Chains A and B, each alone.
Chain A
């Protein structure tokens, strides 16, 4: 038995203020509002539920770092109604069995839709293709394939993967990192790495793989997605490829939109991430590219780690940052408050386009009557100070800790059910009811 919610006075996609009725899991005509629970949404922006193409949930295998349950709670608090769980779990999500396990854990948890990403190669080893078709045909219905964490370096294997996933409208999401050029890399290669004596991760190691892959994607006419673009040069290559009609999409993380490698001067491992934080010129180029559509989506690359993995020497520290609960605020801070984009475009880059890339037609809608009610209510006037101790994720490794950010997620509706109300976790829903 689904409840009814009448959401009063929200600004839909940042536009005019209107009432929204959620009934039986869908947006419904207002005349059916009798008996609905009212929610005062005066001053709030209504967005379609956020969709993340790039989340690390760590289960199975590293439940000390995160579980599907805690990760999807963090997602709900961040305003997400769907996340794609990257394949670098232990065991790797490279078979129908593992992706079904992750999918089912997500359903059982019920906080957000969890779509497993299938590995491109067996064990992420870059040697043999995983059974992409079996994962696509499984109950998990995998459409996004990635060896994220590792680059599919072998150009023949990359070509075959791009071709093969066409059979089920899949997409290969590449972690672009030339492995030889980044052996031992610790941070962005440049002025700061030269002073700090940390081995550099050159921009060209990302750009060279992207250049190769857009040419491959064009050659075989397949869909390619570039994970976590981090350099101005990568943006130029993607812009060029799009102009030539290549079916390439690209994502940028919130942290690459805000932070630079200057922060590494602290040697605080909370700033260690792959790809590394780059220069302020790169940050400006990434923002501009997200605004003009060259970069299509924001992906969090949420990467929780237990504290001991970060409370150590920089060289030994794990790479990665949490991001689900800060993503929307960082987007507001870097893109909306700078005047680069409006809320309509926020909906596009955080929800609608990721849902299209991931082939989730019941996500990323326009909030029109009849659509499945995936909804996020944001208070753009709120300001809050990031405190990792108060987050739902198990990871305390937020690079934004102590920073004041704008925008608070007030409510998240998954399939018409509020998983977050008044900024707090409510009760889970039965995702399987869909």
Chain B
């Protein structure tokens, strides 16, 4: 693995290796000194063409805990559209000898273009591109689900996958890079996935995806769900005829108090409720659901740092084949 561009092309072994490494990283973050020397002297650039403080801070924390130098490079969309091109920016980063570029971009495919163009030598990590993918978000979601699923089954999460896990992903699938990345990764890890959305918010090609599709959230819950993932509804969708009104949307596709209670009445005591954030409380998720014991929203944020540490470590440590030793073992040796 030279880059982390999508989960669509992520091999199962590589995905599991990232998750297993993330377990070790999570252990590090629970230590008193939350820092490893692994990437000392390496430079990680956070190249953000689109504002996302949450994701940028998560990557920044991950890089710093591995002792990398971090450069935050925010490019306002306006200056890019005319004048400064992706190519120019890439060549600047190349001149700065960046070892890894974490790129967030409003255009689908921009990270892949950066990785394949020959403009730059650095490892490229996709931190969200347009409506395409957000692979580290899917990995942190999978990490969160795996820990929960292992606990439910009384297993060790390291080395295990998501076989048997039933996941429902509800909301604006059409425009969601989080949904796309999750669909591919969850399938790779053995989970079964149901997408729940109004037909207007499902891509036309969804019939060829390895998922079930439903327009009915209650019916989906009735069939049994272990992880309920709610997607953010973007403000601009509301005025573009994707659905008639917020009220109708939240009634039919929002995870509200009644549906939270429904999990109890269905006897689904171990079902978790997930959200990538930021949440529209009262629209796709009610406050009671977001703050309930089932909610993993804060776990997801916490796990994001460990997963991103793992990704950076594996891409920059040069040898990411499954044969090499564990991450912390290598750290011990490097001391």
Contact = CB atoms under 8 A, between A and B. Distances in A.
A191 B108 CA distance: 15
Contact of B208 (A191, A200, A315): A191
A409 to B, nearest CB: 32
B242 interface: no
A156 to B, nearest CB: 26
Interface in B73-131: 81, 85-87, 105-110, 112-113, 116-117, 129-131
A425 B86 CA distance: 37
Contact of B205 (A194, A311, A312, A316): A194
Contact of A311 (B87, B130, B177): B87
B277 interface: no
Given A311-B85, A312-B87, A316-B107, A195 B113 contact: no
B8 interface: yes
B86 A193 contact: no
B279 to A, nearest CB: 22
Contacts of A193: 203-205
Contact of B180 (A190, A197, A199, A267): A197
Contacts of B133: 197
Contacts of B208: 191, 194
Contacts of B130: 197-198, 315
B85 A314 contact: no
Given A194-B209, A195-B8, A315-B107, A267 B204 contact: no
Nearest to A200: B204
Contacts of B113: 267-268, 313-314
Interface in A294-353: 308, 311-316
A401 interface: no
Contacts, number: 75
A122 interface: no
Contacts of B177: 197
Given A191-B205, A194-B203, A198-B108, A312 B131 contact: no
A90 interface: no
B266 interface: no
Contact of B108 (A268, A308, A315): A315
- The winner among B81, B86, B109 for most chain A CB atoms within 10 A is B109
Contacts of A196: 108-109, 132
Interface in B180-211: 180, 203-206, 208-209
Nearest to A202: B204
A314 B107 contact: yes
Contacts of A198: 108-109, 130-132
Contacts of A308: 85
A229 B13 CA distance: 44
A129 interface: no
Contacts of B105: 313
B205 A314 contact: no
B131 A197 contact: yes
B206 A194 contact: yes
A192 B205 contact: yes
Interface in B313-333: none
Contact of A316 (B81, B117, B203): B81
Nearest to B110: A313
Contact of B109 (A190, A200, A311, A313): A313
A268 B113 CA distance: 7
A141 to B, nearest CB: 40
Contacts of B112: 266-267
Contacts of B86: 312-313
Interface string A239-271: 000000000000000000000000000111000
Contacts of A315: 106-109, 130
Interface in A196-214: 196-200, 202
A227 B290 CA distance: 53
Given A266-B116, A311-B87, A195 B109 contact: no
Contacts of B205: 189-195
B82 to A, nearest CB: 10
A193 B209 CA distance: 12
Contacts of B180: 195, 197
Nearest to A267: B109
Contacts of A195: 8, 180, 205
Interface in A173-195: 186, 189-195
A190 B207 CA distance: 10
B16 to A, nearest CB: 23
A91 B35 CA distance: 62
A273 to B, nearest CB: 16
A73 to B, nearest CB: 29
Given A197-B131, A314-B113, A190 B108 contact: no
Interface in A6-31: none
A267 B105 CA distance: 14
B35 to A, nearest CB: 36
A314 B109 contact: yes
B333 to A, nearest CB: 39
Contacts of B85: 308, 311-312
B81 A314 contact: no
A267 B124 CA distance: 15
Contacts of A266: 112, 116
A146 to B, nearest CB: 29
Contacts of A191: 205, 208
Nearest to B176: A197
A314 B113 CA distance: 9
Contact of B204 (A186, A190, A316): A190
Contact of A194 (B87, B116, B129, B204): B204
Contacts of B110: 267, 313-314
A199 to B, nearest CB: 8
Contacts of B209: 194
Contacts of A202: 204
Nearest to B6: A195
A193 B208 CA distance: 12
B132 A197 contact: yes
A326 B117 CA distance: 25
B334 to A, nearest CB: 37
A206 B130 CA distance: 26
Given A196-B109, A197-B177, 11 more contacts: A191-B208, A194-B205, A197-B130, A197-B131, A198-B132, A200-B204, A266-B112, A267-B116, A312-B85, A313-B109, A315-B106
Interface of B: 8, 81, 85-87, 105-110, 112-113, 116-117, 129-133, 177, 180, 203-206, 208-209
10 contacts: A189-B205, A191-B208, A193-B204, A194-B209, A196-B108, A196-B132, A197-B180, A266-B112, A314-B108, A314-B109
7 A-B pairs with least C-beta separation: A194-B205, A267-B109, A197-B132, A194-B203, A197-B131, A191-B205, A313-B107
Interface of A: 186, 189-200, 202, 266-268, 308, 311-316
